[in-house]
Structure 1
Amino acid sequence: MTEEQRLQIKVMRYQGIGYMKIAEATGLSRDSVRFYCKRNGLDGFGKDLKVKIDEKFISEMSYQYCLSCGLKLEHPKRGAKKKYCSLACKRDWERDNPKLYKLHCDYCRKEYISERVKKRKFCSNDCYVRDRFFREEDSIEIFGKITKRKKVDYIPKWLEDLLLSYIKN
């Protein structure tokens, strides 16, 4: 087994690919791949082993092997280096590894995770509806609690911005 094959096995195992597919891609037997994985702590089910690959690992390995199927990439002499061997592999990779964004809801201010959408404003449809259609009711409810000196659970962002604008002026 060459050093290149060892590296390819490691990359493919971290992507959650099974022994048989790795064996087909590297040209080794399934048992050789399995024994190598056992010796190096990469054994078990591919789905259980799959980890979120960090950017450093991607930058080191992405230009040598296809991120999706693990085949060796051949680069053109000019142009950008490839990360995938085909468009189908790119689509598979993006489907299985969506970009995740940590955002804060504009209404309830809770932190939530959004897949693939960076400009999302609300964590749920309920928060959107409350912000869009119930502003007057929310303001009456919050000012009622304030005048009765009761605890206010949260103040929507639009109302806080409005109150702070009066303080700044």
Structure 2
Amino acid sequence: MTEQEEQLIFEMRQKGTGYKAIATVLGKSRDAVRMYCRRNGLTGNAEVVALNIEEQKKRHLRCQNCSKKIEQKEKGRMRKFCSHACRHAWWDKHPEERARKATYTFTCPNCQTAFTTYGNAKRKYCSHECYIESRFGGNTDGLSKTSD
């Protein structure tokens, strides 16, 4: 089975579609779909499947964003996401659930604009360009990122 077919089976099972209907859509046998569902914990009626997946998300067995299975490491913190892309996508969808304790608001001494920063209580400038302009008076002729 291809990855697209597996994703389609997963989505259709979450919506409550039966094995036979999924097999008809994919052009596969009912038993092939049923065995895939058995191997991936998608058995039972639709309500049970949805509850199982939500429970697996709570136990960090599935990605919070895309519901793919997560391989946990033996040591370290439990993973909640299958990839960095999923983590960032989830953060973008749920900004209110992020635990951001160290957010600071400052005014840039160079351009006088207000900006917020996370985790750096000693930051003064809104950007590197403002720092350079303030420190060297806007004269960046001698400053370049590449050496000649």
Bucket of the pairwise TM-score, normalised by the shorter protein? 0.3 to 0.5
Larger helix percent: 1
Q: TM-score, normalised by structure 1?
A: 0.30
Q: TM-score, normalised by structure 2?
A: 0.33
